[in-house]
Amino acid sequence: MPDADLRKQLNDMIRGYWTTQALFVAAELNIAGRLAGGPKTAAQLAAEAGAHGGALYRILRALASVGVFAEDADGRFALTPLAEALGSSGGAGYARMHGRELYETWGCLLDSARTGEPAFETAHGMPLFEYMTRYPARGALFSDAMFGHHGAETLPMIEAYDFTGFREVVDVGGADGSMLVTLLEQVDHLRGVLFELPPIAERARAKVEAAGLGSRLSVVAGSALEDVIPRGADAYILRHVVHDWNDENTVRFLANCRKAAGSKGRVLVVEFVIPTGNEPNFGKWLDLMMLCYGGKERTVDQYRALFEEAGLELTRVVPTRMPVSVIEGVAR
């Protein structure tokens, strides 16, 4: 029999979904937002949110026990730093996606293990991006969640990789353009193009225009699986794009970027690079999320092989102070 400490460690891992669902409820009911003006009782919060006071109290009490919210002696709940993070747009979106669509998807992980097919399609009857297009409100939430999760990588990427020698960069599949806006704000001579699927490009235009970068930033609609435009930019950035796709489609993405970049441009893939060995690495777990989507995280050797198939030479891998690296390629 395993000792008590090992059993507790295992049981805590098994029960991880308890926390996921409690955070989902708090995000879905906007509890953090409702506490922005000061502490409130669960009954007050329930009245505002259309919830059951007793049930909500029990959920908030449990979350307070792990540092999300804090209950005072009068039974009022207040924000904590974790609760403030949950209340941010990215944090709330991340919790709402993981508590619904992604929670339901992971419930079908066994199907992926048996068939190799994406669990998202089993759970929702269609591929991820078709679902996000068909349900635009959920698509916008997904984009918000991804920015909340990956937005902190942008400045470390700019610090690690020297963009100052470039004149124009194209962000391929850059969602709402947040990364590109930050890049152009940091490198003031750069011009940027957000290249996205038509429905996403349309949603991004308002945010791009609000950035106040004028002619330095534009939006172009299209599909990177078919072609990438404009041609002749200095760099084509694919951040957390190719990990969503199988090897065949990844090669198509890379080949189309290589064609657009020509002989002088660079293709920059920003992703986790999976290390060998048994050491803990978040990318190994994110790879299971990609298994559910139909994509994968990859090792440096796997990236090198895909680059070669797409007509690119992998020239270097630039680590950042975040878990992602910039994987650089040029035409062979």
Percent of the chain surpassing pLDDT 90: 85
Please give the average per-residue pLDDT across 165-178, as a whole number: 94
Count other Cβ atoms within 10 Å, centred on residue 296.
Answer: 19
pLDDT category at 134 given cuts 50, 70, 90 is: very high
What is the reported pLDDT for 70?
A: 98
What is the reported pLDDT for 209?
A: 86
Please give the average per-residue pLDDT across 28-56, as a whole number: 98
The structural architecture, per CATH, of the domain 4-87 is: Orthogonal Bundle (1.10)
Q: List the catalytic residues.
A: 243
The CATH homologous superfamily to which domain 150-331 belongs is Vaccinia Virus protein VP39 (3.40.50.150)
- 23 has a pLDDT exceeding 80: yes
Which residue bears the tokens 């011009």? 191
Q: Where are the domains of the chain?
A: 4-87, 99-147, 150-331
Closest to 174 measured CA to CA, from 147, 155, 140: 147
pLDDT tens by residue, 175-195:
889 899 999 999 999 999 999
Which residue type sits at 128? L
**Four-CA torsion 272, 274, 278, 284, nearest 10 degrees:** 60
pLDDT category at 214 given cuts 50, 70, 90 is: confident
What is the reported pLDDT for 140?
A: 84
DSSP calls for 24-69 = HHHHHTTHHHHTTTS-EEHHHHHHHHT--HHHHHHHHHHHHTTTSS
pLDDT category at 2 given cuts 50, 70, 90 is: confident
The tokens describing 268, both together, are: 């920059």
- 124 has a pLDDT exceeding 90: yes
- 1 has a pLDDT exceeding 70: no
pTM of the model: 0.88
What is the reported pLDDT for 200?
A: 86
